[in-house]
Amino acid sequence: MLNIGVLVSGGGSNLQAIIDDCENGEIKGNIKVVISNKEDAFGLERARKHNIRAVFEKNEDKVIKILKEENVDLVVLAGYLKIISPKFISEFENKMMNIHPSLIPSFCGDGFYGEKVHQAVIDYGAKVSGATVHFVNEEVDGGAIILQEAVPVYFEDTAEDIQKRVLVEEHKMLPRAIDLISRGKVEIIDGRVNILK
Ligand code: GRF
């Protein structure tokens, strides 16, 4: 069983997808703790409803301490709107993943979060967008890519339309990436991910 720690700042629909797949056995994992830097994050409420430890904590050293005391093997950033320090990253090297709502390396990096990402896709006139699950390294949205899924972008789309379409894919791919890790199917070679058969 993989011990999972999830960090959220908002609604936590991706967290819900992970909770559901842990409960129905699709993922051989246990969410040990959900931590948020926002006291009113609905993600904390979702965790409590499922009897998962839910902690509001802004201090990064304390966050690291909690993850360690819960013996977390994998940290999942699921809508965590806080930059992670190099120290935190090195404590969980290759054991921390993030989901970003675009096809990295497009529409990512500093300042690209929430609807801003999808508005930038519209403004540019891109015809596809999507989502990316990747390992976390020192570069914002820059770690090795684990999974990507694309969705079409239509001329009439609003940022919200694209967000909704992308979220449908996110809710499938984030649990899938966790499942691949729990089954030892993800290897990193020269900074690239190989998914083993
Ligand atoms: C998602 O779009 C995710 O890609 C991004 O933040 C959003 C979080 O949504 N990092 P939710 O809180 O999981 O509903």
pLDDT in tens, 77-93: 999 999 999 999 999 99
Which amino acid is it at 22?
C
Q: First-to-last CA distance in the chain?
A: 20
Which three-class secondary structure state does DSSP give residue 65? helix
Ligand 1 pocket member 79 (CB < 6 A): yes
pLDDT digits (tens, 9 = 90+) for 163-196: 999 999 999 999 999 999 999 999 999 999 999 9
Going by alpha carbons, the residue nearest to atom 6 of ligand 1 is 79
Nearest CA to ligand 1 atom 12: 12
Which residue's CA is the nearest one to ligand 1's atom 9? 79
Count of C-beta atoms within a 10 Å radius of residue 1:
10
Backbone angles phi, psi at 17, to 5 degrees: -60, -35
Q: Model pTM greater than 0.85?
A: yes
Show which residues are catalytic. 100
User: In 3-state terms, what secondary structure has residue 187?
Assistant: strand
Amino acid at 46: R
Ligand 1 binding pocket includes 119 (Cβ within 6 Å): no
